[in-house]
A and B are shown apart, each in its own frame.
Chain A
Amino acid sequence: MSDKVKVTIDGITVEVEPGTSILNAARQIGGDIVPPAMCYYSKLEGSGGKCRTCLVKVSKGSEKDPRPMPKLVASCRTGVMDGMEVQNITSPEVIEARKGVVEMLLINHPLDCPVCDQAGECHLQDLSYEHGVADTRYEFDRRTFERIDIGDKIQLHMTRCILCYRCVYVADQITDNRVHGILGRGDASEISTYIEKAIDNDFSGNVIDVCPVGALTDKTFRFKNRVWFTKPVDAHRDCPKCKGKVTLWYKGEEVLRVTGRKDQFGEVEDFICNTCRFDTKNTSDWVIEGPRHISHTSVISSNHYEMTPLPVIKDNPILIEANKIEFDRATKV
């Protein structure tokens, strides 16, 4: 007998290493049955267990002990057992609970998506679109904070934060010196850097990428453009500090921002350094690999085509000849 364990998620059986979480087992299957995750980040040790969006129902504990688990469990924090049976989208209870979680996460969220730079690639937007209800029952004032500059490149909008702690783990594990964390407790907790001390570190920019909402955004990209009007292009460069594999977001000829390459679960493949992210924004700094594939369900894919563009009038001799009169008139003007 192999030492792999069998787990069934929504009727699909998969064999995984013992010790794998239910969420990661579901990710190995892929598709619709993967529970959404706001706080869990596979590259950050210890993340997960905070947002409760990945709740699933365990209808059979294991082969040895087939009793179901009494409550819904967070799939990112629950390990698989041999013969376990899990229900995600097939369980109405889970769907209902997830609606509640979304409402809870949105209680203090300002819903300023028209202003927010994360709109279009925001996990909370996707999550509430898929699982949320249209209105809230919350009648009180939402918590408000002044926006804070963390260094000159990172902008913190604490009002938008859902306290997933991902950025804290980045600061703990990716950068050398942790200088920011969560202050206060419960409703009063907020991310801060103690006396707004600047994060001064080569990898601090990654907190922007890991943030599932628009709480931590790139200040150099602030209000420059909406993400769905920019064109993502994969590129790389020789970087002494990181692997240098990034996505460039173009508008016309100009690189508006640089981010890590995000996979289908919204997690970056490699963390990139601040030089790559903030300081090298010329096409000449990069070796272009080609347009980045964007899932057709994303708003970013609208009006983007992964093909060579058709010849426009100015390059096509036949069309130039045909439009001669129109061109003449234009030059006269």
Chain B
Amino acid sequence: MNFWERLYFPAIFQGMGITFRHMFKKKETIFYPEVEREFSENWRGMHSLKRDEQGRERCTACGLCALSCPAEAITMIAGERQKGEEELYREEKYAAVYEINMLRCIFCGLCEEACPKEAIYLDGPIVPADYLRKDFIYGKDKLVEEPLKA
């Protein structure tokens, strides 16, 4: 190495040059959760249990989602629709309890594919973080779509 090279100045200036150049470039960082990146079309996030065009729950608790689930994350208890509940549930059987363990779920989308009633879709956001295991068991209160606005 000659004298100039031994001073390391050229290398230092070259490195700093790269650093300063990046200061004026557009930032790649996104401030989640205030800002969210655009998801791809086939993104699979949190599940939602859908309602039909009349606002009735589509799920009939047939159990095919739970059967297809490779992580065994889904459990349900079926209920029988009573007289007067025709506005709430689409078929004579409905899911009285429907739970998904989000810690078990691998977001593979097989439940969505198995559903014969088009009742479950993984079209939600990223499942939020939490502290307790029990809070990751999502019931119908978190999963069912908002009722239709009149």
A residues neighboring B (CB under 8 Å): 112-115, 119, 222-226, 228-229, 299, 302-303, 330, 333
Contacts and interface: CB of A to CB of B under 8 A. Distances in A.
Given A115-B92, A226-B62, A330-B133, A299 B67 contact: yes
Given A113-B116, A229-B63, 14 more contacts: A112-B91, A114-B62, A114-B64, A222-B80, A223-B78, A223-B79, A223-B80, A224-B78, A225-B63, A225-B78, A226-B67, A302-B67, A303-B72, A333-B133
B96 to A, nearest CB: 9
A2 to B, nearest CB: 50
B140 interface: no
Given A114-B64, A302-B67, A303-B72, A333 B132 contact: yes
21 contacts: A114-B60, A114-B64, A114-B116, A115-B60, A115-B62, A115-B93, A222-B80, A223-B61, A223-B79, A223-B80, A223-B93, A225-B78, A226-B62, A226-B67, A228-B63, A228-B67, A229-B63, A229-B66, A229-B67, A303-B72, A330-B133
B79 A115 contact: no
Secondary structure class of chain A's binding surface, majority of residues: loop
Nearest to B115: A114
Contact of B134 (A115, A119, A333): A333
Contacts of A228: 63, 67
Contacts of A226: 62-63, 67
Interface in B42-65: 60-64
Interface of B: 60-64, 66-67, 72, 78-80, 91-93, 116-117, 132-134
Contact of A113 (B61, B62, B133, B134): B62
Contacts of A224: 78
B143 to A, nearest CB: 18
A333 B78 CA distance: 29
Contacts of A223: 61, 78-80, 93
Given A114-B117, A223-B93, A303-B72, A119 B78 contact: no
A142 to B, nearest CB: 16
Contact of B91 (A115, A119, A225): A115
A258 B73 CA distance: 28
B138 to A, nearest CB: 17
Contacts of A119: 62
A224 B96 CA distance: 11
Give the most central of A222, A223, A226, A299: most B CB within 10 Å.
Answer: A223
Nearest to A333: B132
Give the most central of A115, A229, A299, A303: most B CB within 10 Å.
Answer: A115
Contacts of A303: 72
Contacts of B64: 114
Q: What 10 pairs between A and B have smallest CB-CB spacing?
A: A114-B62, A226-B63, A223-B78, A114-B60, A115-B93, A223-B80, A223-B93, A114-B116, A115-B60, A115-B91
A113 B116 CA distance: 9
Contacts of B132: 333
